[in-house]
Structure 1
């Protein structure tokens, strides 16, 4: 890929990321949430109770970030923590009734944000975006590189530098 194309692609991704996060923050603020907390609530809503290490993996966050989110959401009454029955070092996190209600409100906001984000796009293009963006994320996921996985599908490696 030439520099002009690479620059245009990287700038577009960077700006989308920044603006999407800012818009999400604006939508979440009236609910008393900060970006990232909604992902934790939605993960618990999807999966049920989880230990914090599982949440960290699922959210792609460092454990200290999850711990801070959990503490704030527990203080606001949206989640509760209990010791894991099989491992006293682990903590199980689950939604409270208030947390389930908040997750429902977040789902509505998430639909609104998604509609805003894809406004004006052909429906078929919009429907294909999750798969494309997931593949792009996998291509740059440092966790894949740390575990010795190859580069993303379709990425050519320079054999002269290996």
Structure 2
């Protein structure tokens, strides 16, 4: 193969990869939106949902850490956390490493809500997969998931 042909092939592969990246972003954005439609978050704000999601993924944190991670002032995060505490979704305990600080964590009631929400989203996906994909397409989707997992590892 000539050098020019190799360069053309490399450019074609790059263009194909760029198209795949764009299409993946669009598909995942649409999927995420559809799954959010299934959520039962009630009247929670986006900031409150972000805090709950962060505490669920990474465990307890201080108001200061949450504020820094969300890019807001500690006073603003304090108001967000106060509303979550009033709703019974988070609780504070003294930080064992620094008793002056309070570590926030999810309550058991919040964990149950999160679990129920996840189950509802998975049930929705199950119903859509069974309704719209043949068994062969489901096998193809399973193979694709292995590739997607490699992208995030």
TM-score computed with the length of structure 2 as normaliser: 0.56
| Unpaired stretches in structure 1, ≥5 consecutive residues | 57-61, 139-162
Shift of 1:26: 1.2
Q: In structure 1, what is the Cα distance between the partners aligned to 2:35 and 2:100?
A: 34
Q: 1:81: which partner in 2?
A: 92
Q: Of the two structures, which has the highest relative contact order with CA contacts closer than 8 Å and spacing of 6 or more?
A: 2
Larger Rg: 2
Whether contact under 8 Å (2:40, 2:117) holds in the other structure is no
Q: 1:64: which partner in 2?
A: 70
| Unpaired stretches in structure 2, ≥5 consecutive residues | 1-12
Q: 1:154: which partner in 2?
A: none
Q: In structure 2, what is the Cα distance between the partners aligned to 1:14 and 1:32?
A: 28
Moved more, 12-21 or 81-90: 81-90
SS across alignment from 2:105: strand
SS across alignment from 2:92: strand
Question: What's the C-alpha RMSD, in Å, of the aligned pairs?
Answer: 3.9
Q: 1:117 to 1:87 in 2, by over 3 A?
A: farther
Q: 2:116: which partner in 1?
A: 105
TM-score computed with the length of structure 1 as normaliser: 0.54
Shift of 1:23: 1.2
Pairing 1:136–2:151 present:
yes
Residues 110-121 of structure 1 aligned to structure 2 (within 5 Å): 110-115=121-126, 118=129, 120=133
Q: In structure 1, what is the Cα distance between the partners aligned to 2:111 and 2:17?
A: 42
